[in-house]
């Protein structure tokens, strides 16, 4: 959709710096280190429970997304193109211009109470992270979770953040009334790769500690091992290390996903790759030359390796809470040679 009728009232129609939003939107900046250089557009959304198009390759039908854009700044994020619908770019704007649906909790309560609502499962964090850093200031998820709890509505949350633990009380209360689950996204545990491609996220080891804490408190939590980055995090040693630490965190399950490069994310990723690993650009162009997804044979090979490692390390075999201890984050490493493991 193109929202041309929802432009900010105080901006000229030809102002390229202003995105397409409701007329009563409020623009804010915060002079704090974690938000420096970021702009937040506080809008009154018209609805909050979204139905996913049938053509989407996802295992859920309804979502709630209180934010658009994300401060995690993951170079590969597949949701980047959604910012172009607002006349913003999928690169720096996606990382720094965040849409905040300030009435999300109010809308969630209203829509969940509607006679037309069928009590369907609601997935959150599936487009951009609902527990990105902005949530620490806006606290939208507490109201949304309270609404889901009161409606006894099943839901799940996917996050790269640790802020979900702030709402552990609401999660456990909701789990007494309906099915509640969570997953943390940890595609790799290599500190150098993490700092380079996910600079706004918590350390992967902290995410795995979050997984352990959720499970210890009765919230079933698995790990989305995504994305697995060809030539960067797909070596046997890298995969083994990541799966081993996921198992030690007590994850209920593990789902590997190889990097996919949809329009928007593709351009941003290849620009980063040309700066940081120029030798890999031809290989990526060969691997992703026919579309957004790596060849099926490559995906199947990686999935088989991860499945075997998960069985070996015991992913899904619950350990007592006091016996489970994650290894400390490794010390910074010297620059390692590039991994060329595809061929």
User: Encoding tokens for residue 141?
Assistant: 């998820």
Residue 211 has pLDDT above 70, yes or no: yes
Mean pLDDT calculated for residue range 295-303: 97
Q: Residue 21: its pLDDT value, please?
A: 57
Rounded Cα–Cα distance for residues 9 and 289 (Å): 43
- By CB neighbour count within 10 A (0-12 exposed, 13-18 middle, 19+ buried), where does 217 fall? middle
Q: Residue 342: its pLDDT value, please?
A: 31
Write the Ramachandran bin of 89: left for phi over 0, alpha for psi from -120 to 50, otherwise beta. Answer: beta
* Closest by Cα among 79, 151, 142 to 122: 151
Mean pLDDT calculated for residue range 15-36: 72
Mean pLDDT calculated for residue range 142-157: 98
In order, the DSSP letters of 139-163 are -HHHHHHHHHHHTT--EEEEES-SG
Longest dimension (CA), the chain: 61
Q: Residue 5: its pLDDT value, please?
A: 34
Instruction: Give the lowest-confidence range in 65-79, 104-118, 140-154, 320-334.
Output: 320-334
Confidence tier at 85 by pLDDT (50, 70, 90): confident
Q: Which residue has the tokens 């998820």?
A: 141
Residue 319 has pLDDT above 60, yes or no: no
Is the Cβ–Cβ distance between 243 and 225 less than 8 Å?
Answer: yes
Q: Residue 320: its pLDDT value, please?
A: 40
Average pLDDT, the chain: 88
Rounded Cα–Cα distance for residues 139 and 104 (Å): 10
Rounded Cα–Cα distance for residues 126 and 68 (Å): 11
Rounded Cα–Cα distance for residues 292 and 168 (Å): 36
Kind and range of the H or E element at 312? helix 296-313
Q: Catalogue the E-assigned strands of the chain.
A: 26-28, 39-43, 49-51, 62-64, 67-68, 97-101, 122-124, 155-159, 180-185, 220-228, 254-258
Q: Residue 19: its pLDDT value, please?
A: 55
Q: Residue 247: its pLDDT value, please?
A: 97
Rounded Cα–Cα distance for residues 257 and 227 (Å): 6
What whole-number percentage of the chain has pLDDT above 90? 76
Confidence tier at 32 by pLDDT (50, 70, 90): confident
pLDDT tens per residue across span 279-292 = 999 999 999 998 99
């Amino acid at each position: 959709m193109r929202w041309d009728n929802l432009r900010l009232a105080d901006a000229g129609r030809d102002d390229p710096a202003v995105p397409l939003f409701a007329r009563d939107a409020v623009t804010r900046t915060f002079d704090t280190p974690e938000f420096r250089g970021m702009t937040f557009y506080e809008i009154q959304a018209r609805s909050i429970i979204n139905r996913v198009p049938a053509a989407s390759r996802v295992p859920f039908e309804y979502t709630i997304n209180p934010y658009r854009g994300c401060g995690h700044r993951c170079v590969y994020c597949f949701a980047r193109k959604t910012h172009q619908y607002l006349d913003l770019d999928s690169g720096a704007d996606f990382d720094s211009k965040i849409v905040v649906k300030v009435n999300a909790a109010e809308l969630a309560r209203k829509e969940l109470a509607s006679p037309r609502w069928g009590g369907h499962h609601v997935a959150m964090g599936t487009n951009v992270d609902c527990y990105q850093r902005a949530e620490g200031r806006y606290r939208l998820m507490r109201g949304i979770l309270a609404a889901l709890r009161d409606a006894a509505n099943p839901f799940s949350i996917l996050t790269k953040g640790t802020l979900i633990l702030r709402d552990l009380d609401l999660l456990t209360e909701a789990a007494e009334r309906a099915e509640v689950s969570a997953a943390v996204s940890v595609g790799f545990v290599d500190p150098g790769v993490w700092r380079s491609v996910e600079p706004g996220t918590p350390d992967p080891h902290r995410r795995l500690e979050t997984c352990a804490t959720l499970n210890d408190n009765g919230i079933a939590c698995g790990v989305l091992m995504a994305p697995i980055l060809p030539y960067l995090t797909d070596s046997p040693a890298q995969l083994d290390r990541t799966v081993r630490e996921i198992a030690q965190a007590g994850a209920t399950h593990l789902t590997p996903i190889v990097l996919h490069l949809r329009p928007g994310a593709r351009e941003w990723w290849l620009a980063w790759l040309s700066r940081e690993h120029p030798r890999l650009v031809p290989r990526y162009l060969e691997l992703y030359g026919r579309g957004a997804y790596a060849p099926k044979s490559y995906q199947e090979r990686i999935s088989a390796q991860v499945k075997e490692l998960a069985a070996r390390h015991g992913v899904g075999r619950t350990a007592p809470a006091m016996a489970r201890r994650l290894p400390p984050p490794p010390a910074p490493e010297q620059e390692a040679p590039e991994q060329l493991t595809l061929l």
